[in-house]
Amino acid sequence: MVQRASPDHPLVQALARAGFIAAEDEAAELLAAAHGDETRLHAMLQRRLTGEPLAWITGHARFCGIDVTVDPGVYVPRWHSEQLALRAAARLPENGVAVDVCTGSGAVAAVLSARRPRARVVGSDLDERAVTCARRNRVEAYRGDLFDPLPAELRGRVDVVTGVVPYVPTAELPLLQRDTFSFETPLAYDGGDDGTAVLRRVLAEAPAWLRPGGAVVLELGGRQPALLAEELARLGYAPATVLVDEEGDVRGIEAVHEVRLASDA
């Protein structure tokens, strides 16, 4: 854990003047990443002042207490996904199998591996930069659409499928934070008309990979659990548990797949 920088440090003041609310924490991270090199520190500050994500500048982020490498261009793991990763880890047996679709930097998968070192944890992502980054985080990552690139021998054997998939309704993309909208790719966020397009595909494809009684743990928000309830029942899932954060905001669903349908085989 990096110590906070003092409020009168010039770096803190420059960040605070530019409106960064966590200026002391950010300054401390930049100082640690610059390793005493003033030229490098100056260049890093200039990048941050443009709104570029801090993790792309320092090269890493903390997630569930572990250090995750985050390469420029790759989605920065968020604190609100931590609950999902921990819930999924609790579902994963010691020697179990987990799939993390839309793995990005591999943050969720890395947490699962850290908590269950003997389990097999695989991830997928459409973006080559993400796959490279996830591999740097020691995730067995494959490039491709959702389940398509995963090893076929895992079909029917997966204990838990996790996914922080794109789930922002297309019309709401311009409402995302400045850093997000200017720097990160819509591929990480755009979930179609009501935000559930990719969620629905994951729910439909997961049963072929899950063992009976396996579960999906998916990030979503707002009214999306209600939008998906009928689909969950139709696909053979038990009613989902809705995950909320400490402020009562909806953050995800956890749903066990109970019924093996003929079409899953």
Per CB under 6 A, residues contacting ligand SAM are 75, 77, 81, 101-105, 107-108, 124-127, 130, 145-146, 164-166, 187-188, 198
Calculate the alpha carbon distances from 153 to 131, 145, 260 in Å.
20, 17, 18
Minimum distance between the CB of residue 264 and ligand SAM, rounded to whole angstroms?
20
DSSP 53: -
| Min dist. Cβ of residue 103 to ligand SAM (A) | 5
Min CB(158)–ligand SAM separation in Å: 16
Tokens of 206: 């997961």
Pick 31 or 110: Cβ nearer ligand SAM: 110
- Please count the residues of the chain: 265
Nearer Cβ to ligand SAM, position 29 or 125?
A: 125
Contacts 24+ apart (CB under 8 A), 193-198: 193/169, 194/169, 194/224, 194/227, 195/166, 195/167, 195/168, 195/169, 195/170, 195/220, 195/221, 195/222, 195/224, 196/167, 196/220, 196/224, 196/227, 196/228, 198/102, 198/146, 198/165, 198/166, 198/167
Return the number of the residue (53 or 104) whose C-beta is nearest ligand SAM. Answer: 104
Using the minimum distance from each CB to ligand SAM, give the nearer residue, 15 or 88: 88
Least distance (Å) from ligand SAM to the CB of residue 116?
17
Closer to ligand SAM by Cβ: residue 138 or 260: 138
Smallest distance, ligand SAM to C-beta of residue 155, A? 17
